[in-house]
């Protein structure tokens, strides 16, 4: 790690983060939760909000994929995803659901602003983002796909979307 120039956990926690919160809406797989922690660490996201049935640390299955990111990434839990989204919206975050809707914008066509605070909402592996959460969205994004499956695993999708938001801040 020293040769790679990686920060310690305490150094990382003190670093400035991107103004992006990732919210997991009822994500059932603990491996996906661990992967979300790891992705948020990799791209310097402000924090991770876990809601509903989404598992929380400490848990062996989360730690298995998070590889220590549960210690570096700020996180919180809110039982009701709608309450969590309302709080973030009231705090000035633009709510972006990552979901295929009739109004969703392809990720590559989305106009992002590095001065804007965003909350990226990722939903349940089967049902997606809850309708009651979508009602509070300022925008719906989707990752364009060319295959026969019409969705990506949440951990892959989270990585692709977070990378786009990260790129906006490192140009």
Task: Give per-residue pLDDT as tens, 36-58.
Answer: 999 999 999 999 999 999 999 99
Task: Write the pLDDT tens digit of every residue in 56-88.
Answer: 999 999 999 999 999 999 999 999 999 999 999
Helix (H) or strand (E) holding 87: helix 81-90
Across the range 132-143, mean pLDDT stands at 97
Write the DSSP symbol of residue 124: B
Which structural domains are found in the chain, ordered by start? 9-170 (3.40.1280.10)
Beta strands in 12-167 (DSSP E): 18-25, 45-51, 75-78, 94-98, 105-106, 118-122, 139-142
């Amino acid at each position: 790690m020293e040769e790679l120039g990686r920060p310690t956990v305490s150094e990382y926690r003190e670093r400035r983060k991107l103004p992006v919160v990732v919210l997991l809406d009822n994500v059932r797989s603990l491996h996906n939760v661990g992967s979300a922690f790891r992705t948020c660490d990799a791209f310097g996201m402000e924090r991770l909000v876990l809601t509903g049935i989404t598992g929380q640390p400490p848990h062996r299955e989360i730690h298995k994929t998070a590889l220590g990111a549960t210690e570096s990434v700020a996180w919180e839990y809110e039982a009701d995803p709608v309450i969590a989204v309302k709080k973030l919206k009231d705090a000035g975050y633009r709510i972006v659901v990552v979901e295929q809707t009739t109004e969703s914008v392809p990720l590559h066509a989305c106009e992002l602003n590095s001065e804007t605070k965003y909350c990226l909402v990722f939903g349940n592996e089967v049902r997606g983002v809850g309708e009651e959460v979508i009602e509070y969205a300022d925008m719906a994004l989707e990752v364009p796909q060319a295959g026969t499956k019409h969705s990506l695993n949440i951990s892959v999708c989270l990585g692709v979307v977070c990378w786009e938001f990260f790129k906006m801040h490192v140009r």
